[in-house]
Structure 1
Amino acid sequence: MSESQTLVIGDIQGCFGGLMALLEKAGFDEQRDTLLAVGDVLARGEDSHATVKYLMDLGDRFCTVLGNHDLHFLAVSQGIKKAKKSDRIDPLLKSKKLGDYVDWFRQFPLAMAVRENTTMVHAGLYPGWSPAQLLAYSDEISTVLKGSGWKTLLENMYGNGPFEWKDTLKGVQRQRFIINACTRMRFIQDQKYLDFACKHHPDDAPANLTPWFSIPNPALCAEQRIIFGHWAALEGETGSEQITGLDTGYVWGNTLTALRLETNELISVSA
Structure 2
Amino acid sequence: MSIYAIGDLQGCYRELRILLDRLAFDPGADRLWFVGDLVNRGPDSLAVLRFVRDLGDAALVVLGNHDLHLLALAAGNRKHAAGNTLEAVLKAPDRDELLDWLRHRPLLHHDAERGFTLIHAGLPPQWDLTEARSCAAELEAVLRSGDRDYLFAMYGNQPDRWSPDLTGMDRLRFITNCFTRLRFCAPDGTLATREKGEIGSQSPGLIPWFQVPGRRTRDDRIIFGHWSTLGYRDGDNVWAIDSGCLWGGALTAICLDDWPIRPIQLGCDGYLTPGQE
TM-score when scaled to structure 2?
0.91
Cα 1:185–1:145, aligned 2, differ >3 Å: closer, same or farther?
same
Q: Secondary structure at the match of 1:153?
A: helix
Corresponding residue of 2:59: 62
Corresponding residue of 2:130: 132
Please identify, of 31-40 and 186-195, the stretch whose mean Cα deviation from structure 2 is larger.
186-195
Distance in 1, Cα, partners of 2:214 & 2:130:
13
Corresponding residue of 2:39: 42
By how many angstroms is 1:155 displaced? 1.4
Q: Are 2:24 and 1:27 equivalent residues in the alignment?
A: yes
| Pairing partner for 2:178 from 176, 181, 191 | 181
By how many angstroms is 1:191 displaced? 2.6
Distance in 1, Cα, partners of 2:251 & 2:112:
23
Corresponding residue of 1:123: 121
Deviations 1:108-154 (A, max 9, x none): 11111134431111001211211221111000011111114x21121
Q: What stretches of structure 1 of length at least 5 have no aligned partner? A: none
Q: How many residue pairs end up in the alignment?
A: 265
Deviations 1:238-262 (A, max 9, x none): 543x111010000000000011111
Q: Secondary structure at the match of 2:19?
A: helix
Q: Secondary structure at the match of 1:244?
A: strand
| Contact 2:187/2:213 (8 A) holds in 1 | no
| Contact 2:177/2:193 (8 A) holds in 1 | no
Please identify, of 174-183 and 105-114, the stretch whose mean Cα deviation from structure 2 is larger.
105-114
Query: RMSD in angstroms over aligned alpha carbons?
Result: 1.5
Distance in 1, Cα, partners of 2:199 & 2:166:
29
Corresponding residue of 1:247: 242
Q: Are 2:232 and 1:236 equivalent residues in the alignment?
A: yes
Q: What stretches of structure 2 of length at least 5 have no aligned partner? A: 269-277
In the TM superposition, what are the counterparts of 1:8-157 in structure 2 within 5 Å? 8-81=5-78, 84=81, 86-116=83-113, 117-148=115-146, 150-157=147-154
Q: In structure 2, what residue type is equivalent to 1:199?
A: K
Distance in 1, Cα, partners of 2:28 & 2:234:
33
By how many angstroms is 1:221 displaced? 5.1
By how many angstroms is 1:87 displaced? 2.2
TM-score when scaled to structure 1?
0.93
Q: Secondary structure at the match of 1:203?
A: coil
Please identify, of 199-208 and 63-72, the stretch whose mean Cα deviation from structure 2 is larger.
199-208
In the TM superposition, what are the counterparts of 1:253-264 in structure 2 within 5 Å? 253-263=248-258, 264=261
Q: In structure 2, what residue type is equivalent to 1:45?
A: G
Deviations 1:136-189 (A, max 9, x none): 1000011111114x2112112111100000010011111110001110011102
| Pairing partner for 2:202 from 197, 200, 205 | 205
| Pairing partner for 1:162 from 159, 163, 179 | 159
